[in-house]
Structure 1
Amino acid sequence: MNRYEELLGEAAAEGISIDENYPFSGKTCGLYVDNNIALSSSLNTTEEKACVLAEELGHHHTSIGNIVDLTSSGNRKQERQARVWAYNKQIGLEGLIRAYEHRCTDRHETARYLEVTEEFLQEALDYYCGKYGTGTIADGYYIMFIPNLMIGKIDFSL
């Protein structure tokens, strides 16, 4: 089962219905309204669908009210919270470590392993860099975000 199918299952378990081929006009790729998620018919890959579905599930878990008007700072904040929820759901520091352990050597391999788009991965890395700075320690690994994504196991036996 791929990540997209897992997310569909999670949505179903929470009573959320999904329309996987909604004919949005413009750049809209997904929308969450009252336990219903619409995904754009223009999404071509399961990775694209998984990234958008994760964000819309993020809205289910973090957003309140109608936040379509992004001129409101409160709405923009809720939009970001849903996006961060998606980054943590689809990637997280643990996902970066799993990709390293799986011997992924670059962003392309990492995105493929995590079943996300390279753009989504880069946005998540930018967010983590903003949150943690140049790097952080998690589960016995050092994760460096700048100048490039680098991960290494910390040897505490020294």
Structure 2
Amino acid sequence: MTYDILANEIYNNNIDIIYMNFMGSFKGLYGDNVIAIDSKIDTDAERCCVLAEELGHHHKTSGDITDQTKIENRKQEKIARNWGYEKLVGIADLINAYNIGIRNKNDLAEHLNITEQYLEESIQHYKEKYGLYYEVDNYVVYFDPLGIAKHF
């Protein structure tokens, strides 16, 4: 998904996007139908990853969860991140990439317009959710190592 498509979806949900210089390690924040993105992020792929997670906060979490020393806040953060992973790296997206000939993680991340780190985190999410593999239609998607097999 391109950054522009995701940004349009966000605007269509009546959420504003603002860009600002963040101090510390935050790259994005969500609150009161506003997503703030660190203006120092220099690639569309990384912006897209941050936007997806913050949109996950819009859909799945509530309140101020910036204090990550609290277990409940960490749980909500994980819920939002997982929502973002499934938004940008769906199982169908992995299968479609396989079907057009993409065979390595670098090309896959580029095709999905995400960072390689985000791809790795997405794969880890699916591994936690489904185990070592997931079967759908005539495909088996393996998560460790990442691979796809098609049944005939």
The TM-score range, normalised by the shorter chain, is over 0.9
Structure 1 stretch 137-146 or stretch 74-83: which is displaced more? 137-146
Residue aligned with 1:105, SS: coil
Aligned pairs, number: 152
Deviations 1:82-127 (A, max 9, x none): 0000000000111111111121110001111111100000000011
What is the Cα deviation at residue 74 of structure 1? 1.0
Counterpart check, 1:48 vs 2:46: yes
Report sequence identity in percent.
Answer: 41
Q: Find the aligned partners of 2:10 and 2:142 in 1 and give their Cα distance.
A: 33
Aligned position for 2:127: 129
What is the Cα deviation at residue 140 of structure 1? 1.8
Could you list the structure 1 runs, at least 4 aligned residues long, displaced by more than 2 angstroms after superposition.
Answer: none
Q: Find the aligned partners of 1:12 and 1:100 in 2 and give their Cα distance.
A: 31
Aligned position for 2:139: 141
TM-score by length of structure 2 reads: 0.96
Aligned position for 2:83: 85
Aligned position for 1:3: 2
Q: Find the aligned partners of 1:38 and 1:140 in 2 and give their Cα distance.
A: 41
Q: Find the aligned partners of 2:77 and 2:96 in 1 and give their Cα distance.
A: 28
- Select which of 114, 117, 125 maps to 2:112: 114
Q: Find the aligned partners of 1:134 and 1:11 in 2 and give their Cα distance.
A: 33
**Runs of 5+ consecutive residues of structure 2 not aligned to the other structure:** none
- Select which of 22, 28, 32 maps to 1:24: 22
Aligned position for 1:151: 148
Residue aligned with 1:152, SS: strand
Residue aligned with 1:26, SS: coil
Q: Which has the higher contact order (CA 8 A, sep 6+)?
A: 2
Aligned position for 2:102: 104
Deviations 1:6-49 (A, max 9, x none): 11101111110001x31001111000010001100111100000
**Runs of 5+ consecutive residues of structure 1 not aligned to the other structure:** none
